[in-house]
Chain A
Amino acid sequence: MTPKRTHHSFEMIRPLFLFVFGLILFSCSSQSSEQSFDSSSLRRATIEEVETLVEAFILAEDSSTIRIPEGFYDLKTQLILDNKKNIRIQGEGMHKTVLSFRNLKSGGEGVKIVGNNITIEELSIEDAPGDGIKAQHTVGITFRKINVTWTNGDKSKNGTYAIYPVQCKHVLIDSCIASHSKDAGIYVGQSEDIVVKNSLAFGNVAGIEIENCDRAEVYGNTARDNAGGILVFNLPGLPKSDGRQTRIYNNDIVDNNHENFAIPLGEDPNGNTVTMIPPGSGVVLLAAKEVEIFNNRILRNKTYGVAISSYQVTGFPAEAPNWSPYTSDVYLHDNSYDRGSFSLPDLSRELGQLVSLYNAHGWLKTQDIIYDGIWDESISSSIESNPMRICIQEAGMESLRFTRFYLMEGEDNIASFSDSSPFQQCESTPKNALSLSL
């Protein structure tokens, strides 16, 4: 195990930027506090109504519906549905039933769900200090038409994940809105068989994130105004050790230029990987396996449209049982790109600095596709043979800005290449035949 964090790739460019760090405070990342609606005009639920709601979750019987009437519910304790089956939690609509956890005194999330075949729909969840809604160890969990957000003007106070299924099977997130979370708006972790569709994620650090999951379909969504639009990660050392098979298609991944507020401005990234995401990231793959990305509109993300990267770029220890730090078997095709005009790549994060300084097309040029070019040398001595099976078949490839970096000799010998031809030989790339219907 590597004992200390090693910036084996970017340490060199860091000193270069130390003196401009103050200036980066004023860089051109955007900030959004947009709200889908204003909940303050809603009728306040009485103390008795709030208690009845808390009790309804505690006393729920299998195969029943918990109806939550219109109103603004000021909750001081968590709503926990524990080990129940066939439950529907139903509000009167996301603009009418609002569960506010602004005054929650303890608990990691506002709403917590454990059980089988649970649906939650037609309501909003606001201002949970930790996560908005978390489902764990649930087989069959549906989130439909729910809106999870934070209304703080100061976004540093916002919670971690808005919609957070973890260790679940058969996850459906449909027509939801997730905004202003300090990590990922829609975060699916360590789960299997997942559909995220027709949803909107904005104003988050990460819009939609699929982490250590098997078989996820992400389509028909809009990820806009986040720091990063859609992320597929595999992190080391987790019970679900590696994930594979994600398809991302027919999404609008646009204007993801929001500042990365996962840490205070000017502070260095901490151990949360998301703190390293440079504003202006469309899609980020990190140690991802078998990912197909197609028919998306990847527009005006100021740093890059798609980043294909291995876990080594984080500088964290990259060894764990049953897990590989490399991203492999990527099939990227038929997406449309627009680099926008007058946009500059990010300078606040190492990955942004790498793009700004070392891309193959010139200083401060937004990239469409970047590949960190870190490969498993036990497979091939050269990257020219495309050992990690990265397949890029985009229309008009010659007009796209593609950069493959060379980082394997560390900070002293960073290089970049615009030639994408080794990665257009796609014979060995398995075409993803996954299709889930939930």
Chain B
Amino acid sequence: MNVLMKRFVVSIFTIFLLLVLMFSCAPEASKQELSSETPIEILAPEDANGKFPYKRLSTYDFFTGEMAKLSPNSSLLPYQPASSLFTDYALKSRFISLPKDTQANIEGEELNFPMGTILVKNFYYPTDYRKPEGERRIIETRLMILEEGGWEAYPYLWNESQTDAVLKVVGAEKEVRFINQAGKEQVINYLVPNKNQCKSCHNKNESLAPLGVQIRHLNHDIAYESGTENQLANWSKLGILVGFEGKAAHPSVVNYEDQSQALNDRAMAYLDINCSHCHRAEGPASTSGLFLTYGQQDPLKLGVYKTPVAAGKGAGSYTYDIVPGEGDASILLHRMNSTEIGVAMPELGRTSIHAEGVALIREWINQMDEK
């Protein structure tokens, strides 16, 4: 088609379009907001009869002395994953309890626990993040208990006076205020998940599964009272783990906060702990074909020049999950950098933006080769 012809066509179109200018659409008013408060339950003391879950956290007798101090009794062992899942800047203290005279074992890539193992994870906010050991408010304690039918998750919501927590399967909402690292007051509308939402993340082939308590996340040094030691080596020494053959014999993940590590390792560690619980072949987001486990090598599965599938408004005005060299044109970053429900990823556990995480992934994408 030559240029004259094009011009002719264009002018014809203009006339047609002018003819149909009168069509437009008027928006309607939206419904009014509703609000309500969840009543706090008051419960009588209960017996530790061995039938889980208990209604009150105190019934498990995990902690000695004042409960809010979270000082573990001798049956609890602290643990730390190398990288931590971001949950609205909440700090976490984590403990594991194995039944007396039982052991966990390593089989290939799997870390198997004996029946009755309990994971205890406390979510709290210091009043001032510049003094994380100072005054704090505990919001919830999540238990994962390995029962006959597999792992079960039980969320316990702490009371205002911080004397106990009660089982709350339907979830809750808490406003949290704190002074952040920069010395500014920050307000977060913290959401306690309902029991079944736990599995939105803790999901492996539709069975509930721990996230941090996996070999690659535990295979690193942490500080004990007796000195610094590899966590799994320590467990072996204590006689609660068999099959550990030294750090190098097993996979491990770096701490994404450790700036001395390679950028790619840090970014993959971040995506692994924050995203791969869903975004892997065994997870609920397998539908997307976007797989973000540590060590993923296939560029398409990582999202490089991959179009979204069911992203809806999550795609924003972007075309691909990752555009190498262009972090800010990548859907992956767009969804990390949003708090809008339907856009924000992960779908649960985050109502604020993890600025440090966004910066890390932006840097990682920006430095990718444009192939």
A4 to B196, CA, bound (A): 40
Pick from B32-40, B103-111, B136-144, B247-255 the stretch touching chain A: B32-40
Q: Is A36 an interface residue (CB 8 A)?
A: no
Find residues 277-309 in chain B having any chain A CB closer than 8 Å to their own CB.
281, 284, 286-289, 299-301, 305-309
The reply to whether A320 and B169 form a contact with Cβ atoms under 8 Å apart is no
**A-contacting 9-mer, from B43-51, B91-99, B121-129, B313-321:** B313-321
CA–CA, A23 and B341, complex, Å: 32
Give the distance in Å from the alpha carbon of A83 to the alpha carbon of B12 in the complex.
60
Contact bitstring A21-63, B, C-beta under 8 A = 1, else 0 = 0011011111101000000100000010001001101110000
| Segment with Cβ contacts to B, from A73-81, A88-96, A326-334 | A73-81
Contact of A136 among B281, B287, B316 (CB under 8 A): B287
Q: How far is the CB of B277 from chain A (nearest CB, A)?
A: 14
Q: Are B9 and A16 in contact (CB under 8 A)?
A: yes
Residues of B within 8 A of A51 (CB): 38, 170
Choose, from A152-160, A213-221, A290-298, A374-382, the stretch at the interface.
A152-160
CA distance A160 to B200 in the complex (A): 19
User: Does residue A344 face the partner (Cβ distance < 8 Å to B)?
Assistant: yes
| A189 interface residue per 8 A CB criterion | yes
Q: Find chain B residues with CB under 8 A from A26 CB.
A: 17, 20-24
Give the A-B contact count at a CB cut-off of 8 A: 212
Residues of chain B with a CB closer than 8 A to A54's CB: 170-171, 194
User: Is B246's CB within 8 Å of the partner chain A?
Assistant: no
Contact A237 B197 (CB under 8 A): no
Q: For residue B370, which residues in chain A have a CB less than 8 angstroms away from its CB?
A: 3
Point out the residue from B25, B30, B197, B286 that lies within 8 Å of A31, measured CB to CB.
B25
Q: Which residues of A contact B224 (CB under 8 A)?
A: none
| B169 in contact with A237 (CB, 8 Å) | no
CA distance A131 to B312 in the complex (A): 9
- Is B287 within 8 A of A106, CB to CB? no
Contact B18 A23 (CB under 8 A): yes
Contacting pair B316 A153 (CB below 8 A) = no
User: B30 and A271: CB pair below 8 A?
Assistant: no
From A4, A40, A131, A273, B31 is in contact (CB under 8 Å) with A40
Q: CA–CA, A82 to B10, complex, Å?
A: 57
Given A54-B194, A347-B17, does the pair A114, B31 have CB atoms closer than 8 Å? Answer: no
In the complex, A103 has a CB within 8 A of chain B: yes
CB contacts (< 8 Å) of A27 on chain B: these are 17, 20, 23
Closest Cβ–Cβ distance, residue B345 to chain A (whole Å)? 9
Q: Would you call A437 an interface residue if the criterion is a C-beta within 8 Å of the partner chain's C-beta atoms?
A: no
- Which positions 290-340 of chain A face chain B at CB distance < 8 Å? 314, 316-317, 320
Check if A107 is an interface residue, CB within 8 A of chain B: yes
Q: Are B319 and A239 in contact, CB atoms less than 8 angstroms apart?
A: no
A361 at the interface (CB under 8 A from B): no
Q: How far is the CA of A160 from the CA of B171 in the complex (A)?
A: 25
Residue pair B309, A238 in contact (C-beta under 8 Å): yes
Least distance between B255 CB and chain A CB atoms (Å): 26
Name the B residues within 8 Å of A270 (CB-CB). Answer: 308, 315-319
Report A111 CB to chain B, min CB distance, Å.
11
Q: Does B191 contact A (CB under 8 A)?
A: yes
Q: How far is the CB of B205 from chain A (nearest CB, A)?
A: 8
Q: In whole angstroms, what is the CA distance A189 to B285 when docked?
A: 13
Interchain CB contact under 8 A, A272 and B170 = no
With A82-B199, A107-B347 known as contacts, the answer to whether A182 contacts B191 (CB < 8 A) is no
Most A C-beta atoms less than 10 A away, residue of B33, B320, B341: B341
Residue of A nearest to B192 (CB): A77
Contact A239 B13 (CB under 8 A): no
Number of interface residues of B (CB under 8 A): 77
Contact pick for B315, options A187, A189, A271, CB 8 Å: A271
Q: Is B229 an interface residue (CB 8 A)?
A: no
B206 at the interface (CB under 8 A from A): yes
B84 on the A face (CB < 8 A)? no
Return A128 CB to nearest CB of chain B, in Å: 9
Question: Are B9 and A271 interface neighbours, CB within 8 A?
Answer: no
Contact A107 B170 (CB under 8 A): no
A94 CA to B320 CA in the complex, in Å?
38
Per a CB cutoff under 8 Å, which of B9, B30, B200, B316 touches A107? B200
The residue of chain B having its C-beta at the shortest distance from the C-beta of A4 within the complex is B305
- Determine how close the nearest CB of chain B comes to the CB of A94; give it in whole angstroms: 18
Q: Nearest B residue to A270 by beta-carbon distance? A: B315
How far does the alpha carbon of A33 sit from the alpha carbon of B28 in the complex, in Å? Answer: 9
**B355 CB within 8 Å of chain A:** no
Those of B1-29 within 8 Å (CB) of chain A: 6, 9-10, 12-14, 16-18, 20-25, 27-29
Given A16-B10, A271-B319, are A152 and B30 also a contact pair (CB < 8 Å)?
A: yes
Q: Is B342 an interface residue (CB 8 A)?
A: yes
Cα distance A245–B86 in the bound complex, in angstroms: 43
**Inter-chain contacts of B317 with A (CB < 8 A):** 263, 267-268, 270
Chain A residue numbers with a CB within 8 Å of B348 are 106-107
Separation of A16 and B18 alpha carbons in the complex (Å):
17
B170 to chain A: closest residue by CB: A54
Asked if A14 CB lies within 8 Å of chain B CBs, one says no
CA A239 to CA B205, docked complex, whole Å: 14
CA distance A27 to B24 in the complex (A): 8
B25 in contact with A58 (CB, 8 Å): no
CA distance A280 to B102 in the complex (A): 66
Contact with B along A170-187 (1 / 0, CB 8 A): 000000000000110001
B187 at the interface (CB under 8 A from A): no
Contact between B312 and A272 (Cβ–Cβ < 8 Å)? yes
User: In the assembled complex, which residues on chain B have CB atoms less than 8 Å from the CB atom of A272?
Assistant: 307-308, 311-312, 315
Whole-angstrom distance from the CB of B122 to the nearest CB of chain A? 21
Please give me the residue from chain A that is nearest to B345 by CB atom: A108
Asked whether B157 is an interface residue with its Cβ less than 8 Å from the other chain, the reply is: no
| Cβ of B189 under 8 Å from chain A | yes
A129 within 8 A of B: yes
B22 partner residues in chain A, CB cutoff 8 A: 26
Known: A320-B300, A364-B16. A183 touches B170 (CB 8 A): no
* Cα-based distance from A24 to B17 in the complex (angstroms): 7
**For B315, what are the chain A residues with a Cβ–Cβ distance below 8 Å?**
270-272
A237 touches B300 (CB 8 A): yes
B310 interface hit (Cβ, 8 Å): yes
Whether B287 contacts A189 by the Cβ 8 Å rule is yes
A182 to B343 alpha-carbon distance, docked (Å): 13
Q: Which residues of A contact B306 (CB under 8 A)?
A: 237
In the complex, the answer to whether B305 meets A3 with C-beta atoms within 8 Å is yes
Q: How far is the CB of A413 from chain B (nearest CB, A)?
A: 10
Q: A2-B305, A77-B171 known; 18 other A-B pairs, CB under 8 Å?
A: A3-B371, A5-B319, A19-B10, A20-B13, A24-B17, A54-B171, A78-B197, A80-B196, A103-B33, A106-B191, A107-B200, A131-B312, A156-B313, A164-B310, A238-B288, A238-B289, A270-B316, A270-B317
16 A-B contacts, Cβ less than 8 Å apart? Answer: A1-B305, A5-B305, A26-B23, A27-B17, A40-B31, A59-B169, A74-B36, A78-B194, A80-B197, A106-B349, A159-B312, A270-B308, A271-B308, A272-B312, A273-B307, A314-B307
- Chain B positions within 8 Å of A, measured between CB atoms, are 6, 9-10, 12-14, 16-18, 20-25, 27-31, 33-39, 169-171, 173, 189, 191, 193-197, 199-200, 206-207, 281, 284, 286-289, 299-301, 305-313, 315-321, 331, 341-342, 347-351, 370-371
Which 3 A-B pairs give the minimum distances between C-beta atoms?
A153-B28, A160-B312, A80-B196
